[in-house]
Structure 1
Amino acid sequence: MAQVFNSAAAVLQAVGQDLGTTGWLAITQERIDTFADATGDHQWIHVDPVRAQGGPFGTTIAHGYLTLSLANLFLPQLVQYQGLKMGVNYGCDKVRFPAPVPVGARVRGHGAVVAAEPVKGGGVQATVRITVQIEGSDKPGCVVDTISRLFF
């Protein structure tokens, strides 16, 4: 269940708050291939299961940027804003890929509000850290600090 914020003040007060986790999502070869088609990145470690068996991971792996893009899927499952006049993605900080995400793995997003500050015009800039957890792995597939500008 997503945490709901209805004002800039509520977001500012949420710094340090854990937002919980999403449900699990299976990383299929179809998802990897679709991402490869969308981005033009057809490197064999992503799209050639036969060749990837002999590679460093023993199977195909999700693109790092595919894993990163899941933050966009997970974020609204973790946090929602009511009464928002406008919200924009401002950017990302500290993107890391600590572990590969093999095909067939299940991943989920974990969120935490790591920073918030007022911005000109009465809005707030919120930084939410999304950690893409891999089921059964001690290391995440991606950690990213997403930055949003919100105007209520």
Structure 2
Amino acid sequence: MRAVTTPEVIALKGRTLGPTAWFPVLQDRVDAFARAVEDWHWAHDDVERASRGPFGGTIAHAHLTLGLVPHLFASLVGFAEGEDAMFYGYNKVRFPTAVPVGSSLRMSATIVEVVDLGGGEELTVDLLMEVDGVERPACAAQAVFRHYAVKAPD
């Protein structure tokens, strides 16, 4: 991945980036997420009980799947020195299928809109997260990022 400059960010409109490399979703990550957000539902953390449940095993939290967006998006596009993008929000999020623990995810991103804000750009991005070997996506979302010329503090 090559770092893009402001004119190249503007030119991303209409482009599809990715997919990313496959990212494994393991039980230790699901448990760490549960600890961080205090969400201890049996479908996520009780391996024995979940094995008898509707998914045949534990599944990742939907918000864990969504929480991987910044990491996966950063593997698709980087920004030039002195520039960065900040997450601004989501317009729509859906989770059509569960992410079984032990499976892998990957993401593709389509830049549907780039708006010049005068001092930065707003990118509207359609995201699609796939589970390896599963037809339906794990997550379909529309995210909004703001790109600025900004230097991180030392």
Matched, 1:27 2:25: yes
Matched, 1:140 2:152: no
- Aligned-residue Cα RMSD (Å) equals 1.5
Per the alignment, in what secondary structure is the counterpart of residue 134 of structure 2? coil
Give 1:81's aligned residue. 79
Give 2:152's aligned residue. none
Q: CA deviation at 1:67?
A: 0.4
Rounded Cα–Cα distance in structure 2 between residues aligned with 1:86 and 1:102: 33
Q: Name stretches of at least 5 consecutive residues in structure 2 with no aligned partner.
A: 150-154
Matched, 1:6 2:5: yes
Q: Is the 8 A contact 1:84 1:150 kept in 2?
A: no
Deviations 1:85-138 (A, max 9, x none): 45322111211101100011111111221111111x321101222211100011
Identity rate, percent = 36
Q: Is the 8 A contact 1:3 1:19 kept in 2?
A: no
Q: Name stretches of at least 5 consecutive residues in structure 1 with no aligned partner.
A: none
Give 1:49's aligned residue. 47
Matched, 1:116 2:130: no
Q: CA deviation at 1:12?
A: 2.5
Aligned length: 149
Give 1:151's aligned residue. 148
Rounded Cα–Cα distance in structure 1 between residues aligned with 2:146 and 2:91: 14
Rounded Cα–Cα distance in structure 2 between residues aligned with 1:88 and 1:107: 23
